[in-house]
Amino acid sequence: MATFQMLSKVGEDIQHWSHPQHSLNLVFAQSLYTCSGCKEYGAGLRYRCNRCNFHMHEFCAKAPSTAIHPYHTQHQLFFHNKPGGLKKSKCGVCGKATNGSAFCCPTCSFCIHPCCLQLPPELTMKEHPQHSLKLASASPLPNNSPYTCNACNKIGTSWVYYCAPCKFYLHALCAKGVINGFQAQGINAPPKKGKVARATRYASQVVRIFVDGVLVGLGEGVLDVINS
Ligand SMILES: [Zn+2]
Ligand SMILES: [Zn+2]
Ligand SMILES: [Zn+2]
Ligand SMILES: [Zn+2]
Ligand SMILES: [Zn+2]
Ligand SMILES: [Zn+2]
């Protein structure tokens, strides 16, 4: 599978080519961050510059220059720091724009977020703990008819994690929380665009997390989000 070798330890310092002026320190914090590499959200473990507002997913900091995706085995994917000419491209798995670094196939213009490259062929989700879910690149229903995602209740026709006997479906997009740390940190969904929506969502997030009795560090991130 396309998971990268990660043998780093919390507290470890690295030098990263994208931020040559300071070293980055691997830290654990529950707060939400935007990865300075892929521009996607993350929570939990991250490489952080202690002097700048610079955060990076561990797998982005350690991204190899080439990778193979199990559903795109015909060509190698190449790591692009900033997609530049491929800027308008969408991730071939989650369907969202690739605004930062991504893995791309120059032949097919298939691009994928570093997070999405980590989505495994099988996954166990807390929403459906009894069976593992299988990844498919298209709806597994007869005639490729749309499925309804059990997380967001919207329909989908492409990349999905599913359990056929239970008719349980989850957009690959909605499974990203397993990879980016949201699931482990109890964050339900990425913030919506627009400050009001973000502030409201995160205000309720604080309450929820506090009720769960695990309020550590999120407050700091909340203020960052609201003030940004
Ligand atoms: Zn990243
Ligand atoms: Zn710095
Ligand atoms: Zn993606
Ligand atoms: Zn290709
Ligand atoms: Zn969904
Ligand atoms: Zn099931």
DSSP secondary structure letters along 108-128 = TTEEE-HHHHT--SEEEETTE
Ligand having the closest approach to the CA of 56: 1
Domain ends where: 101, 118, 135?
Answer: 118
The pLDDT tens digits of the residues spanning 175-204 come to 998 888 888 888 876 666 544 444 444 444
Report yes or no: 76 and 66 within 8 Å, Cβ to Cβ.
yes
Query: Do both 1 and 114 map to the same domain?
Result: yes
Asked if pLDDT for residue 164 goes beyond 90, the answer is yes
Query: Do both 171 and 222 map to the same domain?
Result: no
CA of 46 to the centre of ligand 5 (A): 25
CA of 174 to the centre of ligand 5 (A): 5
Total domain count for the chain?
A: 3
Query: Do both 87 and 166 map to the same domain?
Result: no
- Residue 16 C-beta-side C-alpha neighbours within 13 Å: 25
- The parent domain of residue 15 ranges over 1-118
Query: Do both 12 and 33 map to the same domain?
Result: yes
Ligand having the closest approach to the CA of 164: 6
Ligand having the closest approach to the CA of 73: 4
Ligand having the closest approach to the CA of 117: 3
Percentage of the chain lying above the pLDDT 90 cut: 60
